[in-house]
Structures are given as C-alpha cells and as structure tokens.
Amino acid sequence: MKITLKVWRQKDQNDEGRFVEYTADHVSPDMSFLEMLDVVNIGLVKKGETPVAFDHDCREGICGSCGMMINGRAHGPGRGIATCQLHMRSFRDGDTIVIEPWRSNAFPVLKDLMVDRTSFDRIMQAGGYTSAKTGGVPDGNAILIPKPVADEAFDAAACIGCGACVAACPNSSAMLFVSAKVSQLALLPQGQAERTARVQRMIAQMDEEKFGSCSNTYACEAECPKQISVTHIARLNREFVASQF
C-alpha cells in the first residue's frame, strides 16, 4: 500500500505548528497504525530529519498512552480500539490520512502528536481513590457484591484514561472519564466513605482544568476504546446532585 500522510508537526509548546506531508511506501495491510508511523520515522531519521513524536507504550490497547485524531476520529475509524489496535487494512491503497493531536485547552500539545494529559492526573488526585486502609486481602466472600453491580463497576474500571472522550467531544468535555472513575468507586463498598466528597472534588477539578460541559452528543461513547457507556455520565450527574443534600 502507498499512503499519503498529512501529519501535524509542532516543535514545542510555543511553536505555531503546521501540517507536513509524508509518503509512506510499502505499507503492509497487517501493520498496526503505530508500526506504520515507526517505519515513516525510520525513514525520517535516515534522512536526518526529526521523527514524528507520538505517545505509545503497551501497544495492546490497555495502557491508554497512544491516541491521535486520525481523519477526524479519535483513535481513527472502528469501534472499541485504541490507535495501537488500528490496522492499516482499515485504509485503502492511495488514501490520504490526516493525523492531528488531541485538541483541547486542557491537553496542551507538547510536541507533534504528544499532548500533556496531566489534567487527568490532577482530577484523579482530587478524589479518584479510596484513602481507607484496607489491610490485607479480605476473604473472598467477606464483602458481598452482587454480580450485576460488580460487572457495572468493572465496566467503568476499564477506562484507561487515554483522553479520546475529550478529543472526540465537540465541547472537549471530560465527563465520560470522570464518570467512569466516580462510577467505579460509587458502586463498590470500598468507595462509600468518600462518596460525596469525591464527586464534588473531581467535578470541581474538572471545571478548574477548563474542560467543557457535556451536551449529550455521545461522541465520547462512540470513540472510547473501552466502550465506556454514557449511563455512567447519568450516574455521575445523579451522584453530584445527591451529594448536595
């Protein structure tokens, strides 16, 4: 396959940034999207140019490091996948692919396709934890949690914090991310002690970071590599209202 890439290049945070076109020859349909970028980068290094910077780590869809806007879609076409799980067979020979970093004021671009997602970390630090000392591993049946509740909490816990929800949302809202974290702990007994303080602090921090607010377009759910459901956002809203009383 021969692919034309229009990649966002930006030297550092202060640089204006611009699109640069590259041609990727000999692309195998079996390559992952990141492998294709690796090959392009090897070519750039050989020519003495700076390779395209992008975040990546596990390359199997569980770390949440990779992520870029591919042809206007967070993590590219396809559902329930991170960029590393996207394969070149999703494209056709001769295609032009536009690659941009996540765009949000809360995710400033560091370099090329890498963005600073520490705003997510600060939201987590605001309340996405339980501070109770839980001691050793409890007996398997000591804390009874009904299976449907455990499943719901597990679905929320699947969030890898990649930021695709923010990138896909027309309002750059982080509601899906925050709702997954709040939901996970609100559903489980270990999360009860800090339940009201948690939702208030995490939402306050989310607003502090200047993320937008949800307008229920559900672009986040569509692009989430872990297919986190927007019913968690409904729960977040419910938790937030309940925390006021």
Partner 1 sequence: MNSFFTFINSSVGKKLLMSLTGLFLSLFLIVHLAGNLLVLRQDGGESFNTYAHFMGGNPLVRTLEIGLFLFIAVHIVNGVRIWWQNRKARGKRYDVYRLDENTTLPSRMMALSASLVLLFLVVHLRKFWVPARFEGEQNMAGLVVTTFQNGWYVLFYLIALVVLGYHLRHGFQSAFQTFGWKTKRYAGLIEFAAAFFWLVIPVLFACIPLYVYLTGGAAVASLR
Chain residues binding partner 1 by CB under 8 A are 6, 8, 19, 69, 71-73, 77, 98, 100, 103-106, 168, 170-173, 175, 196, 200, 203-204, 206-207, 210-219, 222-223, 230-231, 233-241, 243-244
Instruction: Give the helix/strand (H/E) hosting 109.
Output: strand 109-111
Nearest approach, Cβ of 55 to partner 1 (angstroms)? 18
Which residues pair with residue 6 across a beta bridge?
21, 98
What b-and-e string marks burial along 200-234, b requiring 16 or more CB atoms within 10 Å of the CB?
Answer: bbbbebbeebebbebeeeebbbbbbbbebbbebbe
Alpha-carbon distance of 196 to 174, in angstroms, equals 19
DSSP, collapsed to helix, strand or coil, labels residue 24 as: strand
Closer CB to partner 1, 43 or 237, in the complex: 237
Nearest approach, Cβ of 196 to partner 1 (angstroms)? 8
Nearest approach, Cβ of 15 to partner 1 (angstroms)? 12
Closer CB to partner 1, 58 or 204, in the complex: 204
Closer CB to partner 1, 58 or 210, in the complex: 210
Closer CB to partner 1, 30 or 66, in the complex: 66
Residues 6+ apart with CB under 8 A from 188: 145, 149, 150, 153
Identity of the residue numbered 61: G
Closer CB to partner 1, 130 or 200, in the complex: 200
Nearest approach, Cβ of 107 to partner 1 (angstroms)? 9
Nearest approach, Cβ of 16 to partner 1 (angstroms)? 10
Residue 120, CA distances (Å) to 17, 24, 218, 221 in order: 24, 34, 20, 18
